[in-house]
Structure 1
């Protein structure tokens, strides 16, 4: 086939696509998959109503875009009779702008996607048999009998597919089983891919059974994030936010994705939105402090760490006993040490370890601080307290053995290791 014939065939194909798109825009409403377009599972759907667009003239059909699909449409989520439009929210509450594609978007009419979440009962009743299997499977997981636990989880999900806790635990267990697969052979790679597909199917089935559970959407998004599918992960995070805008873990996980990609502005907007909707979530304050410290804004980071530390202290006071988290104090201590305030950093770590004595990371950071300040006795004391409170932390034992080796006491290093 010569060049002229090829061009003619290409011209006919583009013109046919233009006329088909114009016809669909005038005649029908298309229903497409919302969150998993690469699967046949109809979890939720978008109803796409295209505005009538006149077909392009034959002369410009090579360069005219196919009519009216907007790559980042304005979305409306109907929940309990209230319709929330994404374009009606403030700029800080909106999702980060999606990357522009190479397809031209000249004088296109905007296309509106409407997210219709299928009705789901608020309080799902789980059969006692499924609940018993779930509890038995958790016991088996604690005993490291993972294969038997997986079979029990599967049996429970056959009885109650809307059992969200069981879906999350089964998906997490599949990820643990996947870590045992050796990737050094072709057979191991095939088993790994099958495990990933199995985990996706578990989460899709759970979302199909309970589409208003934001935790399931977030678990699916976290899976795609670990697999490096960032665009799919963003789409899933966006759906989780529409299902439950008050879920702080969605903003936290989504922001960590954006930070890993170097998109600090988008991560900051997500965390601020999460703080507006969940102002007592200390994890978001910690992430904001780390983000501002990374951006070189130390005073702003201190404010976020201080606010989060107050909330952590109040939570510990309500419990009446140690055991509350102290991530903000840990972040504040690391920030102060980097700024040269060693004394203030020690105070932050001391308060944090009193508040959360079983946190091995706190003892490790404090011991590293003392070790860098050439105070081996204080560092040894930190490592000893950490291993006593949390004996199964290998990082503490390794750091302690390394300290003894640096001090020249090889016998103590061998005893510790």
Structure 2
């Protein structure tokens, strides 16, 4: 149904009477539901029918209340039979809040409502001034209690109820029903909820400074132990318990129950702990200066090796292991196990790790001055090329590779493989919205006195992200494109910067310097006052932006004297000149 149809017929100023609108929408909804229920074979027809129903939901506020209720009931009748995937999207299509409330209530009356619906419904009620009173029917508190206690609400519903109760009335006491504490205990001990709910309960007690002891019920420690040892708590709960003991300086030993070390070992060795728990255990042993040796159990080295080679952990643990050996001055050789080099190669070529490990490997070879060539295995160049060309790694690796080639004075051209220009050009093609690549690329062109290329790069980035406007405005100024019909002239770019709804400290600094370059001292003073009022004013370092101005100036006109940069404030003296 076209927008014109809606505007001319269904709007407040449309030509149809209320009865006409009710009749037409009723027929259209019935037609859409019939099409949806009959198109089982051709999914695209079924999806199109679902889309029609969602579009029609937008017109529900135009119907009478009686018809609106009837149509919602009719849709829910069909949905209860078919349970379509688009059900959760229906409230988003209903723009009118009163109709949304009606929709949620009809779902609730049928005992067919998700935790997401409950949250949206009750937040909308609270926003419209409904009281949080469990004794008042259809108040948010009453709705949550009925949904959770009487209708078998899921874990998320219990958590949302407890969270809002905490916001409204704090934690409360266990002896009193419907308090946050009572809700969590009821959910965890009597309703078989998931680990996230146990974790939320324990976190509440931590916030209430009720750490307690493992033997005392309802303390954070008791909750964690109960969840982990008796309720099959997942790795997140084990990790939170161990971190609590770390904070309480209860590091202990692996043989002593309820200490951080004992908890980590139990989680990892006996409860299939995730990578995050192995990582935290290894880090704890590092902090305790227990690097140890690979033959001795429970040392950092033993933990990392056990996790990586036998437990199939993710990149974070491999990276931590490699970095540990680097810090221990053990880059070693590739032929020898447990050296940093062996670890990184094993992780990257055999274990499918992510960019962080490839990057660490390449940077290690850079520090070891093993730049090499792209054809020679295990050199920095070979590593970066392997990561980028054969393993689809992230922009950070392309960035490191391009920077390395520039440092080696291998700028080359766009069509020369493995040169800095070719690398950054290829990286941008793969990651067109990554600012670091554009920034590095344009700066390299400026350093090598190619301001036109730098402009082209930044102009391309502006198409994807407005963050490039700041640098481009300064570069256009020194290229003489200050105030013209060109959309990229400095004046027009500054207007876009000024129009931005949210301004960071960095963007205000750019506006300050652009105003000075344009000779607008009053505007510059205005922006400087904003800079002074910023909470991070005392930590401002404007050196980087002045260096960028010098870089642009030198690239275009061959001068880079910083004393010629206009200024009206001195950061050291904290006042306007």
The interval holding the TM-score normalised by the smaller chain is: 0.3 to 0.5
Using the size of structure 2 for normalisation, the TM-score is 0.35
